[in-house]
Amino acid sequence: MAAAPAVAQHDDHSTEVASGAESHDDHNSHEAHGDEGEYDPVGTVMHHIADANEFHVWKGVHIPLPVILYAPEHGWTTGLSSMFEHGHTAVDGYVLNHGRINRVADASFPKGEVHISHIAHKMVVTAEGDTTDAYFATYEGKDYALDAPSTLDGGMMGGGITSFYDFSITKNVFTMILAALLLIFIFNAVARGYKKNEGKAPSGIQSFFEVFFVFIRDEVSRPMIGEKHYERFQPFIMTLFFFIMFCNLMGLIPFFPGSANVTGNIAVTLTLAVFTFFVVNFNGKKDYWQHIFWMPGIPGWVKIILTPVEILGLFIRPFSLMVRLFANISAGHIIILSLIGLIFLFGENGTNTGGAAAGAVVGGLFTAFMNLIELLVALLQAFVFAILSASYIGAAVEEHHHDEAHAH
């Protein structure tokens, strides 16, 4: 269990608003219900690339997703995200804040279903004197602070850990499950095709995916891992490639069940990188570890310098995998959404029809071009992740013959 956000709080549960900082009510209903308001390009883009507990289809139209929440002092809370009424209802202290579930940090907040006025966004003063963003649920005229989102540092560098566990099916989770089911269905169909057409030319869906199978085998696994070991790791490399590719392609679909920014979520790319890290190091041969901890044929004083670098490299390689995929996919989504936003910027929030038309033409053309580029990037990033993973595995399982080399 973790604490509430580190903000300056008083006994009446109010929070000290930063002096001179903007304090406004960023109503959840504006976005969820499509109420008219000034167009915020940065907020809109960041909202659309973030994960959410529901799919936003159109103005005021949402597709709810399953909610599975657990708090140690309260127990389980389950249902659909629609039970939060897009930020107007709190359930067991949980609220829907811009598509994501937050929990009221104050234990005195009533349990069960209660109506809240809105979700307020304010700049607050932390205990260290810094200003930071914070959100509050307004109930019966009183603001109740919400838990800060969990961060990877666990609170050591100013972040935090929420006071509950969220096992909900979010947009990203839904898309990953859908991608996995599609891959299982397709691979089963391809396997049946291979059995049916044994000794014959491939046909149907088998012939379409044959190109990918042969490409990954001949251009990735075999040259990077080696003839002796590549078949052992081929399933892992193929899984990485197709899973990333399917998630990327589904993210380019602008409507349900697509639009989720799966591989643009650093938690997803971190998990994929960790899988590669474990596969590489659990299969490392004696020579692999020797070249990391005490390289042969190198003066001792040089080894003292190189060994820490090599050890650090064990973690830098998966870190680079994680950041590369995350940054490239996120950047593509941000650019496309920014181009679409030109319509609203040129149209001056609906007051300039001519500007909106110009923005639609310029933004539409560039968006169509960027979508073609993103289609290439979706395939390319899957290939890059797969080939780099294969190269790391190849380095780990490669067998060096030092004695033979010296003999020659």
- pLDDT at res. 298: 76
In terms of residue numbers, what domain contains 143?
23-168
Q: Point out the domain boundary residue: 168, 185, 218.
A: 168
- pLDDT at res. 246: 93
Distance, CA of 280 to CA of 23 (rounded, Å): 50
Which pair of tokens denotes residue 151? 């961060």
What pLDDT digit, counting tens, does each position of 305-320 carry?
A: 888 888 888 899 999 9
286 shares a domain with 153: no
199-213, 218-232, 268-282: the lowest-pLDDT one: 199-213
177 shares a domain with 142: no
Residue 4 lies inside a defined structural domain of this protein:
no
322 shares a domain with 266: yes
40 shares a domain with 123: yes
Q: Point out the domain boundary residue: 137, 168, 199.
A: 168
Q: Is 351 exposed, middle or buried (0-12, 13-18, 19+ CB in 10 A)?
A: exposed
| Mutual angle of helices 205-216 and 171-196, in 10-degree steps | 100
329 shares a domain with 230: yes
Q: Point out the domain boundary residue: 117, 134, 168.
A: 168
Residue 11 lies inside a defined structural domain of this protein:
no
- Per-residue DSSP letter, 296: T
Among 56, 76, 78, residue whose Cα is nearest residue 67: 78
Amino acid at 107: A
234 shares a domain with 297: yes
Q: Which residue has the tokens 């603001």?
A: 143
Half-sphere exposure of 311 (CA within 13 A, CB side): 8
Asked whether the predicted pLDDT for residue 31 surpasses 60, the reply is: no
Among 11, 24, 15, 44, residue whose Cα is nearest residue 146: 15
Partnered with residue 187 across adjacent β-strands are: none
- Find all residues with CB under 8 Å of 4, minimum gap 6, and list them: 105, 106, 145, 147, 148, 163
- pLDDT at res. 181: 94
- The pLDDT confidence band at residue 24, using thresholds 50, 70 and 90, is very low
248 shares a domain with 302: yes
Asked whether the predicted pLDDT for residue 153 surpasses 60, the reply is: no
Residue 254 lies inside a defined structural domain of this protein:
yes
66-70, 97-101, 177-181: the lowest-pLDDT one: 97-101
- Per-residue DSSP letter, 16: P
234 shares a domain with 163: no
Total residue count of the chain as it appears in this document: 408
- The pLDDT confidence band at residue 128, using thresholds 50, 70 and 90, is low
Number of domains in the chain: 2
204 shares a domain with 79: no
Percent share of the chain, pLDDT over 70: 76
